[in-house]
């Protein structure tokens, strides 16, 4: 059948619903985000990875969770001519886990720090900041269980947004426990929700059996009223999860990041354990906008996808949402991330001081390396040798209490004592020489 040329020209072709062109005038905003993310990734020691846009459908069905909205309603899945079931990737973390396992990254020195950017796809009702094809940047760490890494992931995204000149940022954070304590909490929650079934929306009535935690994430007003009286998971954490979360909050306090403990924050994906977080920008009136960044810890996902028992933590930011909130701002590039300095720490107090000191060096544009998840000084000095650092800064419990730090010349082995508040200025002079 021949098409009517006049009708074809009149209608023309348009981009698919919920998918958009990034026009030249918008490219500067996306480029600005990419550049800032890349500079910060280099500083924190993250390596860029690119995964296919299309993956096996089972990767997300198993990894993201069969009862999630992504798997049940939003995935673009199709059968190839060869009979394979493939999916346009709806999120980044399962793909990175698949790559981590497939390429044997677990055999490399841990942790593995990766970052990514690119398009993702979800079938949902298009609206402002929520599209069917959208772009994200993400940061993921594999092979490290320390709470300091949870905080560093949050710090990275907070730094990106601050460099984009976002103001009134706030972090919402919670712990959703693990396989030791979450089952008991689910029983308490289900018992509470069963008495409120008629007060829930239709979708949440189904979720009571399938995925009760998702009810805490529902934005329907009637479900919000029910949620506000529900038991809180932080009251039922096991000792390990409680200690981990306490450390996360202590690190956030040390960095003076503005955070709010949201006991009902759960995220919509099944693989999360322990820490979950979201970052928002409040309006001038103090109203919370939609989440710009979200993430958390997923200590069981690598093993679930047929890998070794490997902890992980990460997060992602939606670029379209950021661009919609951005105004034109000047951008200046960071210094080249050649790391002549290594920061070593011993003990919890020293780790807290080191985390804050690390940020002071970043603000002074002085690159340095670290392995915050390691406690052995010998192991940390080996890491300093591997990157051929000229100096290692050493802070232990005694130094942290006395407000001092040791400067070790890695060539001569000579050590000097400097006051903590003067170390950034001192190292800036030495590097210039």
Annotated binding site: 91-93, 122, 136, 140, 267, 271-272
Which residue reads 């200025």 in tokens? 425
Yes or no: say if 258 and 283 are a contact pair by the CB < 8 Å rule. Answer: no
Tell me which residue of 71, 124, 120 sits closest to 96, measured CA to CA.
120
Tokens of 201: 């929306």
CA dihedral 303, 305, 311, 314 (to 10 degrees): -170
* Distance, C-alpha 293 to centroid of its chain: 7
How far is residue 154's CA from residue 148's CA, in Å, rounded to a whole number? 10
Q: Which residues pair with 416 in a beta bridge?
A: 407
Yes or no: say if 293 and 315 are a contact pair by the CB < 8 Å rule. Answer: yes
Tokens of 58: 């089972």
* Distance, C-alpha 291 to centroid of its chain: 13
The burial class, CB within 10 Å (0-12 / 13-18 / 19+), for 412 is: exposed
CA separation, residue 288 to residues 172, 216, 292, 300, 317 (Å): 11, 18, 11, 32, 16
How far is residue 31's CA from residue 328's CA, in Å, rounded to a whole number? 12
How far is residue 249's CA from residue 122's CA, in Å, rounded to a whole number? 33
Residue set of the binding site for L-histidine: 91-93, 122, 136, 140, 267, 271-272
Helices (H), 256-329: 301-304, 319-325
**H or E segment and range at residue 176:** none
How far is residue 249's CA from residue 174's CA, in Å, rounded to a whole number? 10
Complete DSSP assignment for 96-156: HHHHHHHTTGGGSSSPEEEEEEEEEE--S--BTTB-SEEEEEEEEEES---HHHHHHHHHH
- Measured distance between the N- and C-terminal CA atoms of the chain, rounded to whole angstroms: 78
Yes or no: say if 147 and 348 are a contact pair by the CB < 8 Å rule. Answer: no
Yes or no: say if 34 and 127 are a contact pair by the CB < 8 Å rule. Answer: no
Which residue reads 């003990």 in tokens? 347
């Amino acid at each position: 059948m021949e098409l009517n040329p006049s009708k074809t020209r009149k209608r023309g072709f348009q981009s698919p619903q919920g998918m958009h062109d990034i026009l030249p005038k918008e490219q500067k905003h996306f480029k600005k985000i990419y550049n800032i993310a890349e500079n910060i990734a280099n500083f924190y020691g993250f390596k860029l990875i690119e995964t296919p846009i299309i993956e096996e459908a089972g990767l997300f069905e198993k990894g993201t969770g069969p009862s999630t909205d992504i798997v049940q309603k939003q995935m673009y899945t199709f059968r190839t001519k060869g009979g394979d079931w493939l999916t346009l990737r709806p999120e980044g973390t399962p793909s990175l886990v698949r790559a981590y396992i497939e390429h044997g990254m677990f055999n490399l020195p841990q942790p593995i720090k990766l970052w990514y950017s690119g398009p993702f796809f979800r079938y949902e009702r298009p609206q402002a900041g929520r599209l069917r094809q959208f772009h994200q940047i993400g940061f993921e760490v594999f092979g490290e269980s320390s709470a300091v890494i949870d905080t560093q992931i949050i710090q990275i995204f907070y730094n990106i947004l601050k460099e984009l000149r976002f103001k009134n940022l706030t972090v919402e954070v919670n712990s959703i426990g693990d396989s030791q304590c979450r089952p008991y909490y689910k029983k308490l929650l289900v018992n509470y929700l069963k008495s409120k079934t008629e007060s829930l929306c239709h979708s949440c009535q189904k979720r009571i059996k399938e995925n009760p935690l998702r009810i805490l994430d529902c934005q329907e007003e009637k479900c919000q009223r029910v949620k506000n009286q529900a038991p809180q998971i932080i009251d039922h954490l096991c000792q390990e999860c409680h200690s981990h979360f306490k450390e996360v909050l202590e690190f956030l306090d040390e960095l003076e990041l503005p955070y709010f403990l949201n006991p009902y924050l759960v995220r919509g994906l099944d693989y999360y354990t322990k820490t979950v977080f979201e970052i928002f920008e409040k309006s001038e009136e103090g109203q919370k906008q939609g989440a710009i960044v979200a993430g958390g810890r997923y200590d069981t996902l690598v093993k679930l996808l047929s890998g070794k028992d490997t902890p992980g933590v990460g997060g992602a930011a939606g670029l379209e949402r950021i661009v919609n909130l951005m105004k034109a701002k000047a951008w200046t590039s960071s210094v080249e991330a050649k790391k002549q300095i290594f920061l070593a720490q011993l003990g919890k107090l020293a780790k807290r001081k080191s985390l804050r000191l690390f940020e002071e060096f970043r603000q002074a544009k002085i690159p340095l390396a670290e392995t915050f998840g390691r406690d052995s000084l010998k192991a940390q000095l080996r890491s300093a040798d591997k990157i051929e650092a000229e100096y290692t800064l050493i802070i232990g419990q005694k130094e942290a209490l006395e407000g001092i730090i040791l400067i070790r010349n890695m060539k001569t082995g000579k050590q000097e004592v400097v006051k903590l508040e003067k170390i950034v200025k001192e190292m800036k002079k030495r590097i210039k020489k």
